Structure 1
Amino acid sequence: MRFASLGSGSRGNATVVDVGSTRVLIDCGFSIKETERRLERLGIHPSRLNAILVTHEHSDHIRGVIPLARKHDLAVYMTAGTHRALSSTPLTGIHLNLIDSQSEFVIGDLAVTPVAVPHDAREPVQYVVRDSDNLSLGVLTDLGSITAHVIQRFNRCDGLFLECNHDITMLANGAYPPSLKRRIAGAWGHLNNHQSYDFLKNIQTSQLQQLVLGHISEQNNSLEAVQAMMGNLSSHPGSVHYACQDDGVDWLQLS
């Protein structure tokens, strides 16, 4: 199994997973043109994708999903709640699959486990995907708090993409209006650096090969702050990478 980030942040998110004959996108928050450009950088043509897994309806995760699926005849998977949130968006001309947020499903060579998370969307999920060799990748962004369910589902992953959205002090002293600050910092908003650090301390990381820290706010966080947080861990789990908005992260291998 290998995976890469096309880019991660408030201006667009997408993660590609490639195993055997199966390639999926998790979210697509970029325009068609930009998504195709970023996929080309990774050596992937969009027509070679099998499906797009949607986490929730916010534009930085779903902007390009429907147009890309229509253009390249791709299947789309989302929860019924996300579907209802898109009631004003025409979804004709795509292969839409509504998923149960508590039930595993299969796409080609991948077993996909949706994980319900606390976020201010209609029925948001994150995903753990597993191949036939039992290698697993967890993608965990866009949640305001860590629940016991999240810890259970993302424990012992071989690869992990984890949100480090904001630094508490930078957000508090930043230029955002108070209402937006409360939303981001709330239990249904986004993880701050300390929450991500605590999460890593509370899961088993002995088999973690690749850790990617992403969804790093360009206004309310810094790469230096996230790196300093990682430096406080008693032992660094696997190889650590940082997914930025413009460049994402190149292919990382799990074996």
Structure 2
Amino acid sequence: MLPATRSLLPAFLMRFIVLGSGSGGNAAVVEAGGIRLLVDAGLSAKQLVDRMKASGVDPASLHGVLLTHEHGDHVRGLRVLMKALPAPVYATPSTARIVRDSGVDTASWKIFESGAGFQLNGLSVQSFAVPHDAVEPVGFVFRHEERSFGLLSDTGHVTKLILDRLRGVSALFVEANYDDALLEADMKRPWSTKQRISSRHGHLSNAQTAALIAELAPSGLRRVVLGHLSRDCNCPVTAAATVRASFAEIEVCCAEQDKTCGWWD
């Protein structure tokens, strides 16, 4: 049974907010059709609660938590958060198994197959497989009436399936993890780590994300939030400029690790 909504926006609108994004933790909230969902819980439980409250979100009003994959920067706060919240956790079978085994044993689980879609009242959620070095990673497209929002987190490269699923969304959260030149010049990371980051199961570069935006723009994409920016191998100015160069008419901003990015309608 869905918990009662509190201070939700009108049911005909859709909006989202990134609570924080980066290697230190990732989380976002999506609202539409009277439904409020937390996507990933990679910040500490205290940070998640504090940032939701500061953004006008009562954590008790969440209807569910969706997981993209099991890495710590996407599930770090889940165990503690679930001790206080009744909301179910939505995940693929393999992701749920690993997260449960890590100690998240008080949650109510809603399992869906990678690529499956499901309805929560008037909100449609469509999952799709993505290439990343996790057990069963997925992205999501949220649709409500004529509005749609895509969320593509950690991804090594853009597949035809990703393009097909995201085509037609009007807003998108997508990672732009690194700048090629900055990653190559970085002295902190060993060569093996750089290879993993830039591999086909690692993360998207600014250039790869810009190419994706250029593909999606003609089908109605108008707003983009770039996330998961590396502190050492990227910067918001460079990332945003690279994307805008591919399609100047799109509104672009960069999510930050240490604060929310503000609501996007």
Q: Which TM-score band (shorter chain)? A: over 0.9
Q: Deviations over 1:91-129 (max 9, x none)?
A: 432110111112111123311111100000000001111
Q: CA deviation at 1:65?
A: 2.0
Q: Distance in 1 between matches of 2:63 and 2:82?
A: 10
> Structure 2 matches for 1:58-73, cutoff 5 A?
58-73=71-86
**SS of the residue 2:181 aligns to:** helix
The aligned length equals 251
Which of 46, 49, 64 in structure 2 is aligned with 1:51?
64
Contact 1:157-1:205 within 8 A present in 2 as well:
no
Q: Distance in 1 between matches of 2:39 and 2:119?
A: 14
| Equivalent position of 1:93 in the other structure | 106
Q: Distance in 1 between matches of 2:108 and 2:63?
A: 11
Distance 1:245 1:89, change over 3 A: same
Instruction: Provide structure 2 residue ranges, at least 5 long, that are not aligned to the other structure.
Output: 1-13
Q: Distance in 2 between matches of 1:248 and 1:222?
A: 17
Contact 1:230-1:236 within 8 A present in 2 as well:
no
Q: Distance in 1 between matches of 2:181 and 2:36?
A: 39
Distance 1:116 1:43, change over 3 A: same
Please state if 1:176 is matched with 2:189: yes
Contact 2:88-2:107 within 8 A present in 1 as well:
yes
Which of 133, 153, 156 in structure 1 is aligned with 2:165?
153
1:67 alignment partner AA: V
Contact 2:209-2:243 within 8 A present in 1 as well:
no
| Equivalent position of 1:80 in the other structure | 93
Return the TM-score normalized by structure 1: 0.94
| Equivalent position of 2:54 in the other structure | 41
Instruction: Provide structure 1 residue ranges, at least 5 long, that are not aligned to the other structure.
Output: none
| Equivalent position of 2:8 in the other structure | none
1:196 alignment partner AA: T
**What percent of counterpart residues are identical?**
36
Q: CA deviation at 1:178?
A: 1.3
Q: Deviations over 1:21-42 (max 9, x none)?
A: 2100110101111111100111
Q: CA deviation at 1:216?
A: 0.8
Q: CA deviation at 1:87?
A: 5.2
Return the TM-score normalized by structure 2: 0.90
